[in-house]
Amino acid sequence: MRKNIRKVPQAMLNRIHSFELDDIVVACIKRLKPEDFVRYASLGVGFADGALTMPHPFVPKASAGSYSKANVEGKDILLKHLPKVTRTDSWETPNWGDWSKGSHTHSTTRLVYQRDFLPPKEVELKIELLEALPDNEYVLKFAVDQVLSRQSTTFDADLLYNLNILQENVGAADVFPSAATLAEYMATVRVDWEILPAGTVDEVVKHILRGKRHITDNQMKPIEERLKVMARYKPEAYIAGTNGFLRYFGAKFDEDFVAFENLTYGNALYVMFEGWEVLSRRSRVDLLKGPREGFERIEHRDGWAQQLSALLKRHRKSKLSKNRSCGDSAFN
């Protein structure tokens, strides 16, 4: 069973506050190959006679998780902030263990918490095909079919509820303006990582490791050390791996200069240039067996930080030179 979201991530709240409109929807975008669809078969997504099939909007199964169960069956809430009340339970038992000889009533009285019942919401999931790509891939939108308003007094609770409905059934969740365009949805599938604003190293480490269990001090130390090196060269943003890019973190120094680290294979830094959005989706093995174009691999040996610094200086110098050339051309 997928892990629930206990608290709405601050980065997501920041995004919501940046939306111009108050109405939002909880949704996520998946880029899938035919062999990936087996993971979503329980949602009614698949192929029939070679054609993609998708269900009409539906209430997800209660077995998907605690939120999905409450969505179908409702939920009892213990009111621990209220005083306990007396409850008497009664049941019938046979006389002398034999129902043919009649029965008698047993009762017990005890103090219990008061309860409230939250009725099932029965919110639905809606799955849409956004685009069929030429390389036999499909871009699907998974959404909770309910518009939430930031002006609602129950917005925070409803947002967490819907995020968990999607998390339990799809394994991912995000937010979009209710009037988001196809281009805005498609933009999120172009990357498999989350861009974080440049903050302190401690803030970045905390965000990168959020939701990851069993991180030892030996694993934590190199992450902190390498982020401190990256921070020295003033990146414009940091990157935390999500979805298919789970093991990576890094720093973005320019639109065409990104340094990635790998939590599993920690022996090298990968510096990617133009086209890094595509390269970053490839596995380490896939990168190294093909032509080494569009990236530099820096092994974590003595002097690796100086190598990164030299690459970055060369890049910035080249960029400055190109900008000057463009400026001169504009006056010719």
Q: How many angstroms separate the first and last alpha carbons of the chain? A: 65
Please tell me whether residues 65 and 214 are part of one structural domain.
Answer: no
> For residue 89, what are the domain limits?
77-118
Please write the tens of the pLDDT for every residue from 264-287.
555 788 888 876 766 665 555 556
Token pair in block for residue 122: 């029965």
The model's confidence at residue 234, banded by pLDDT at 50, 70 and 90, is confident
Element (H or E) spanning 207, and its range?
helix 201-208
> Number of folded domains in the chain?
3
Please write the tens of the pLDDT for every residue from 199-230.
777 777 777 776 555 567 777 787 888 888 88
Domain boundary residue, one of 189, 208, 225: 189
Residue 332 lies in a domain: no
Please tell me whether residues 236 and 286 are part of one structural domain.
Answer: yes
The model's confidence at residue 159, banded by pLDDT at 50, 70 and 90, is very high
Element (H or E) spanning 110, and its range?
strand 98-112
Please tell me whether residues 54 and 127 are part of one structural domain.
Answer: yes
Backbone angles phi, psi at 130, to 5 degrees: -90, -35
What pLDDT score was predicted for residue 245?
A: 38
Above 70 in pLDDT, residue 302? yes
CA-closest candidate to residue 243, choices 15, 29, 44:
29
CA-closest candidate to residue 150, choices 170, 175, 119:
175
Please tell me whether residues 262 and 296 are part of one structural domain.
Answer: yes
**At a CB cut-off of 8 Å and minimum separation 6, what does 226 contact?**
261, 269, 300
Please tell me whether residues 23 and 159 are part of one structural domain.
Answer: yes
Please tell me whether residues 69 and 155 are part of one structural domain.
Answer: yes
- Yes or no: say if 269 and 249 are a contact pair by the CB < 8 Å rule: no
Indicate the pTM of the whole model.
0.55
What pLDDT score was predicted for residue 288?
A: 60
Please tell me whether residues 39 and 174 are part of one structural domain.
Answer: yes
* Average pLDDT rounded to a whole number, residues 152-180: 91
Please tell me whether residues 123 and 100 are part of one structural domain.
Answer: no
The model's confidence at residue 91, banded by pLDDT at 50, 70 and 90, is confident
With pLDDT > 70 as the criterion, what percentage of the chain qualifies? 80
Above 60 in pLDDT, residue 244? no
Above 80 in pLDDT, residue 330? no
Please write the tens of the pLDDT for every residue from 127-150.
999 888 776 788 899 999 999 999
Element (H or E) spanning 204, and its range?
helix 201-208
Above 50 in pLDDT, residue 3? yes
254: number of Cβ within 10 Å? 13
Please tell me whether residues 207 and 286 are part of one structural domain.
Answer: yes
| Mean pLDDT of the chain, nearest integer | 80
Least confident residue range of 68-72, 90-94, 138-142, 227-231:
90-94
What pLDDT score was predicted for residue 6?
A: 86
What pLDDT score was predicted for residue 191?
A: 45
What pLDDT score was predicted for residue 33?
A: 82
300: number of Cβ within 10 Å? 15
Counted residue by residue, the chain has a size of 332
